[in-house]
């Protein structure tokens, strides 16, 4: 600049060869760049940087932002492998020690950067995409649910461009083992099924009769469920758990998976998941871009999450919003937390401002003691999921209820009430 020449970029040393002699943390590089910009005239502020010539392309640190208490780098693609990436802005968690792009992690609960799926596909297949504004690596889904890639299309079998979040997604482990067992039995093999849990008992006759009596009612129903049914669900929770649940806060769906999935879409935060857990919780969360934080349990505690374990995770993992998935009685252990343990968990959740999703689908199958819900101790922050599939032996019918007992749900969960367009 002293010679009157304005440089094009402020480069960060490449992650090769001499980098270790010259590397500077990205946060410090941005401070140096910002300080320099403040000391020169506006004509010299056309310099871009700090920038990295990384695998996805030339990436610049455009700033540092803080959203809901989370600090993040604002990154911008100056030149991308795909021209469609140019000028695209994305975010990475602020890391004071990181010196290169591959040391950064997505911010605000995202599990991947927008280019990760394409680059991973390139590594696996060696295929060079036909870059362009409307072109991607072509991905196909096999019968087993695996995603495969190809760098060209053939007219007889058109490829299906998929969201990168589907990369590596496989069939549910419980469904897969169930289908495998069925195939072995058809082949004449003797099989002891220990995978998918399914009741061998018949559906209660009263439930069958009620379904038969109303089978002719084929008109579109309220998206939240029949009003009389929602009233019955609210009354059930008031009677059994002393929870002040309003019918207006109840959602009825075709099985518990369906209401749980839009909840994870709508909830903008990290998912706290005790381990071991049902096999579908984590994949669904990752599918919608939520960061899953495991909460460890121990054999000494019966594989049930304790207040101390939850408090330790909440203290070390700070996020603007967190949702604890609590499954009691638990799948796969079959064990349930007692009232004192739930009360202690409720106190930790209240102190850290955590929303609890209490999956109580097995609640009516507890025979050693009456079922107890954490909502009894934390009504203002608990959403309960329950249904017919387990206690009623109606897995194929799978009607579920989703009473939101937390205070303010009439406004905070209004997204649950939007009626979709009939089709």
Q: What is the CATH number of the domain that holds 341?
A: 3.40.640.10
Q: Which of 130, 106, 110, 108 is nearest to 118 (CA)?
A: 130
Domain count for the chain: 3
Specify the pLDDT at position 186.
93
Please count the residues of the chain: 423
> In terms of residue numbers, what domain contains 162?
118-166
Q: In this structure, how many other beta carbons lie within 10 angstroms of the beta carbon of residue 421?
A: 4
Specify the pLDDT at position 304.
94
Q: In this structure, how many other beta carbons lie within 10 angstroms of the beta carbon of residue 213?
A: 9
Q: Which of 338, 413, 362, 383 is nearest to 245 (CA)?
A: 383
CB 176 within 8 A of CB 144: no
Q: Is 3 inside any structural domain?
A: no
Distance (Å, whole) CA 126 – CA 116:
15
Last residue of a domain, one of 91, 114, 137: 114
Instruction: Find all residues with CB under 8 Å of 10, minimum gap 6, and list them.
Output: 29, 33, 36, 47, 48, 49, 50, 51
User: What are the pLDDT digits (tens) for 117-144?
Assistant: 777 777 666 555 544 433 333 443 333 3
Distance (Å, whole) CA 120 – CA 133:
20
User: In the block, which residue shows the tokens 């890391």?
Assistant: 95
Question: In whole angstroms, how large is the CA radius of gyration of the chain?
Answer: 26
10 Å CB burial of residue 174 (0-12, 13-18, 19+) is middle
Q: Is 179 inside any structural domain?
A: no
Residues of the chain with pLDDT under 70: 1-11, 13-22, 40-46, 123-169, 396-423
Distance (Å, whole) CA 270 – CA 261:
14
Specify the pLDDT at position 295.
93
Q: Is 292 inside any structural domain?
A: yes
pTM of the model: 0.60
Distance (Å, whole) CA 327 – CA 304:
9
Same domain, 209 and 66: no
Specify the pLDDT at position 70.
87
Q: How large a percentage of the chain has pLDDT more than 90? A: 24
The 8-class DSSP code of residue 19 comes to H
Specify the pLDDT at position 11.
66
Same domain, 353 and 400: yes
User: Which pair of tokens denotes residue 339?
Assistant: 């009232």
């Amino acid at each position: 600049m002293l010679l009157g020449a304005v440089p094009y970029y402020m480069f960060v040393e490449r992650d090769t060869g001499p980098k270790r002699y010259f590397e500077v943390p990205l946060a410090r590089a941005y401070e140096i760049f910002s300080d320099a910009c403040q000391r020169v005239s506006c004509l010299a502020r056309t310099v871009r940087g700090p920038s990295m010539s990384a695998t996805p392309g030339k990436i610049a640190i455009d700033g540092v932002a803080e959203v809901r208490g989370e600090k993040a780098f604002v990154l911008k693609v100056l030149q991308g492998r795909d021209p469609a990436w140019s000028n695209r802005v994305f975010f990475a968690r602020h890391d004071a020690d990181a010196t290169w792009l591959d040391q950064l992690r997505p911010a605000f609960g995202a599990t991947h950067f927008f280019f990760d799926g394409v680059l991973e596909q390139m590594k696996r297949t060696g295929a060079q995409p036909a870059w362009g504004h409307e072109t991607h690596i072509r991905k196909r889904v096999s019968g087993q649910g695996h995603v495969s890639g190809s760098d060209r299309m053939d007219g007889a079998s058109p490829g299906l461009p998929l969201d990168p979040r589907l990369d590596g997604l496989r069939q549910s482990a419980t469904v897969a083992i169930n289908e495998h067992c069925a195939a072995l039995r058809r082949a004449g093999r003797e099989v002891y099924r220990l995978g998918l849990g399914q009741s061998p008992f018949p559906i209660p006759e009263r439930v069958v009769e009620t379904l038969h009596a109303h089978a002719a009612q084929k008109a579109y129903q309220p998206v939240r469920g029949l009003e009389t049914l929602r009233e019955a669900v609210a009354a059930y929770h008031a009677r059994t758990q002393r929870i002040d649940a309003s019918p207006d806060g109840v959602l009825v769906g075709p099985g518990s998976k369906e209401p749980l999935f839009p909840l994870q879409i709508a909830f903008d935060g990290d998912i706290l998941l005790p381990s071991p857990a049902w096999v579908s919780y984590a994949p669904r969360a990752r599918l919608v871009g939520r960061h899953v934080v495991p909460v460890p349990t121990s054999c000494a505690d019966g594989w049930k999450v304790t207040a101390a374990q939850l408090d330790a995770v909440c203290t070390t993992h700070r996020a603007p919003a967190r949702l604890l998935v609590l499954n009691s009685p638990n799948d796969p252990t079959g064990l349930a937390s007692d009232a004192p343990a739930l009360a202690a968990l409720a106190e930790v959740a209240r102190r850290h401002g955590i929303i609890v999703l209490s999956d109580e689908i097995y609640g009516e199958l507890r025979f050693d003691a009456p079922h107890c819900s954490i909502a009894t101790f934390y009504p203002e922050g608990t959403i309960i999921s329950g249904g017919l599939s387990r206690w009623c032996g109606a897995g194929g019918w799978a009607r579920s209820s989703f009473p939101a007992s937390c205070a303010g749900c009439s406004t905070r969960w209004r997204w649950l009430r939007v009626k979709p367009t009939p089709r």
